[in-house]
Amino acid sequence: MVYDAINSSPAFQRDRRLKDQCTGAAISTMGAIPEGFARRSNKEFIQFLFISLSSAAELQSHFYVALDQKYVIQDEFDRIYRQADKVGRMDSNLIIYLRESDRHYIETRKTKKTR
């Protein structure tokens, strides 16, 4: 999606700084999730999910610039913005789940120790 938007606009391709920021944010959004999962702890996984969430927000911000510069049309911007928002919400919900899971695990261990 991001690469298609960039490749469809010669002006966007020439704006190397913005192009690189957009592709970097898109890659980071996606890449942080498996990297965090591979750490094998919820604490570190959550940290990487926050990186993914932040990168999705960064991508949205950069595409506002691309829209202002007329590198992308409104429909393309909306599609990318919605997808980044969806990923951000998924990251947030997984963070909430993992935090609750950790709390439940800790409470269960405390209950077993006091018996």
**pLDDT, tens only, 36-67:** 999 989 999 999 999 999 999 999 999 999 99
Task: Note the pLDDT of residue 101.
Answer: 87
Domain regions of the chain by residue span: 2-114
At residue 70, φ and ψ (nearest 5 deg) are: 65, 30
Tokens of 1: 């999606």
Tokens of 105: 């695990």
Whole-model pTM: value is: 0.85
Average pLDDT, the chain: 93
| Alpha carbons 23 and 6: distance in angstroms, whole number | 9
**pLDDT above 70: residue 106:** no
Average pLDDT (81-100) is 97
Residues 2-114, CATH architecture: Up-down Bundle (1.20)
